[in-house]
Amino acid sequence: MEKIKNISEIEVEFYDLDPMNVVWHGNYVKYLEKARCDLLEKIGYTYDDMRADNVMYPVATVELKYIKSAFFKEKLAIEAILEEYQPAMVIRYKIFDKETKELLCKAKTLQMCVNLLTKESLYKTPETFVRKIEEYKEE
């Protein structure tokens, strides 16, 4: 599988800061979610499509390595790369200062496919997702 990549952009909001006036560490997970949603939309398999397939992909593990703090009004670029999708979805991320290209954080998530009705883990990727990945063409 050719790795599928997307770049999302955000601007750090005031409510994302901690008392030291840097982005609170837990908000980086929110930034990953934004990047993941954008990546899935680019592929053409969103959370709505997952529900239509009676599946969901809850996060099983998150790895974060903080390198440098982000600040209020800073413009960030979040690179998300789909590395695996069978049987679990593995996405790697890099968060950069959009202007300086300085690396601020590296991350990885692993999400298991789960039956929406029974909540049981599935070890087979939904056919719709497989087809979307196989049909995907870089723009």
Q: What Cα–Cα distance (Å) separates residue 72 from each residue in 4, 110, 115?
A: 30, 29, 39
Burial class (CB in 10 A: 0-12, 13-18, 19+), 106: middle
pLDDT tens readout for residues 1-54:
679 999 999 999 999 999 999 999 999 999 999 999 999 999 999 999 999 999
Domains and CATH numbers, the chain: 4-135 (3.10.129.10)
Q: How confident is the model at residue 96 (pLDDT cuts 50, 70, 90)?
A: very high
Quick check: pTM over 0.85?
yes
β-sheet bridge partners, residue 91 = 82, 109
- Checking if the pLDDT of 55 tops 70, the result is yes
Q: Would you call 69 exposed, middle or buried from its count of C-beta atoms within 10 A (0-12, 13-18, 19+)?
A: middle
Residue-wise pLDDT for 100-115, tens only, equals 999 999 999 999 999 9
For 115, the 3-state DSSP assignment is strand
| Contact (CB, 8 A) for 108 and 95 | no
